[in-house]
Amino acid sequence: MSAKDAILGHVCVERGWMSEPVLEDCLKECATLSRSRPAPESETFLPRVLLRRHLIPEMELEALREEIAKVLRRDAASAPDGTQDLRLLKLLLRSARVSKEHVDQAMAEQRELLGKGKSARVIELLLEKGQLTLTALEEAFQGLRRAATSVTCGSCRAVYSIFDYDPGRIYLCKACTGELAPAGAPAPASAPVAAPTPASSASSAVLPSVGEEGARIGRFRSLKEIGRGGMGRVYKAWDDVHQRWVALKVISDRQPLEGLTRFRREVEISKSLHHPNIVAVYEVSSAEGKHLISMQYVDGVTLEAERWPPGKAATLVVTIAHALQYAHSHGVIHRDIKPQNLMVDRAGKPYLMDFGMAKSLDNPSCVTAVGIAMGTPSFMSPEQALGRTSRVDRRSDVYSLGAVLYALVTGRPPFRGSSPIDTIQKVSSEEAIPPSQVVSGVPAALEAVILRCLLKERNDRYQTAKQLAEELERILPQMSP
């Protein structure tokens, strides 16, 4: 079994694609394959095993392998003499992301391999054994780049200082949402931005149409509209280049400032997330004066206006909570969890989508334009409803997910007023009616979980999405499916 197979397998477990027992079984099959025929020591078998067992889509597998290779290549290239690894290990030990015992064992193994004429990095040995996660390694690497980097807006020439600058990310000016670039680097091309227009003037400039059903835009054809929102239309489309169906979000170049800010935020954040229950963003392009986001196509329905049996509703929310925990662990707060942003495919698999309102904790000042309302009133946390954006954190998403669970079991949101302002007032000042008083058949244990999510004070709620998932998993056996 190759080290690459072991590393890939443990990262798949880390990202939620499989469990440890399934990985162990897959690696046994890899070992059997490697013994059945002569093969180079570096040859990998796990990718074909994963695909054959349908454990991970091919596109996601390739993205995961590329991410692993990129992280390890970047770490090695930064200091070929090994000093970079030593700095990383010190940081990992200091933050308790790896144990001293495991590091000592890996170093002893490294010395043993060197004695046999084989090279090995301690970092890779730890990843291979599952004693270090790829996420922890990425965070440690970022921690080594804390020096401020001066960046300039390509549109308004405003200057910012960014800590832990990552050249692979998109940074936006909070004054005009133009793209930021380090001093001396070529200025990024800026799309033309129109002045904001009143909401009442929404037209094809804001929700661009690409023509009749079956039309083409760029390399995408057989377009069929499947949804629309405040910033564009979404089509089911055939990608001629990659030969696959995609969900194609189309945004006009004449989109108001708020729409372009959301577009750029969604692109930046979504492309950094790879999880089986988060809709994947494949590519960003433009054609015929419109911005395009090519995304994973999910053949299913949203959870909007859908009432579910308590057991099934809780099961769906458990899965979404784990996906949300993954996003939170990568420094991303969704800020717009609602039934319309949750989908279930024909096999019953749920997905979290639309990160257009999301906030990156790594660099919040460069992704949010002033004055943009965040969230949907009926599912907003009180801190969002009151505009206290500095207080919006992971627990705000937990509140919103609790509000979704309330809606799934009762058929209505916890707060609903005669107008958005009336709804916001209810969210911020009134207590939610217990679900059992809205509909019958809601288990007391489930009601207690929902009401704890909806508490006004953040510190009184579940503190993480993982805590919410674990509590639901604990009570699920008490509920009928």
CB 187 within 8 A of CB 181: yes
Contact by Cβ (8 Å): 230, 259:
yes
C-alpha to C-alpha distance for 181 and 172, rounded to whole angstroms: 9
Q: How many CB atoms lie within 10 A of CB 53?
A: 13
C-alpha separations of 60 from 6, 71, 108, 275 in Å: 17, 16, 35, 8
The angle subtended at Cα 356 by Cα 352 and Cα 358, nearest 5°, is 80
Residue type, 42: S
- Catalytic site includes residue 336: yes
> What pTM value is reported for the model?
0.58
At 375 the pLDDT is 52
Q: How far apart are CA 190 and CA 337, in angstroms?
A: 30
**Which long-range contacts does 141-145 make (Cβ < 8 Å, 24+ apart)?**
141/71, 141/74, 141/75, 141/88, 142/166, 142/362, 143/91, 143/95, 144/84, 144/87, 144/88, 144/91
Cα maximum dimension of the chain: 75
Catalytic: which of 75, 336, 362, 397? 336
Give me the count of residues in the chain. Answer: 481
pLDDT score for 170 = 59
Q: How far apart are CA 235 and CA 226, in angstroms?
A: 5
Q: Write phi, then psi, for 191 (nearest 5 degrees).
A: -75, 145
CB atoms under 10 Å from CB of 480, counted, come to 9
Distance CA(88)–CA(371), nearest Å, equals 40
- Residues 437-442: contacts with CB under 8 Å, at least 24 apart: 438/410, 438/411, 438/412, 439/409, 439/410, 439/411, 441/310, 442/310, 442/409, 442/410
Q: What pLDDT is recorded for position 32?
A: 87
Domains in the chain (CATH in brackets) are 3-143 (no CATH), 149-182 (no CATH), 201-296 (3.30.200.20), 301-478 (1.10.510.10)
* DSSP summary character for residue 131: S
- pLDDT of 371 reads 32
Along the chain (481 residues), what's the average pLDDT of each consecutive run of 10 residues?
Answer: 86 89 91 77 84 88 87 60 72 86 88 79 90 86 65 78 60 63 58 34 41 77 80 86 90 57 65 86 80 88 86 96 92 88 92 72 39 63 83 92 96 89 87 95 96 95 95 89 61
Any long-range contacts for 186-190 (C-beta under 8 Å, 24+ apart)? Answer: 187/152, 187/154, 188/154, 189/154, 190/154, 190/155
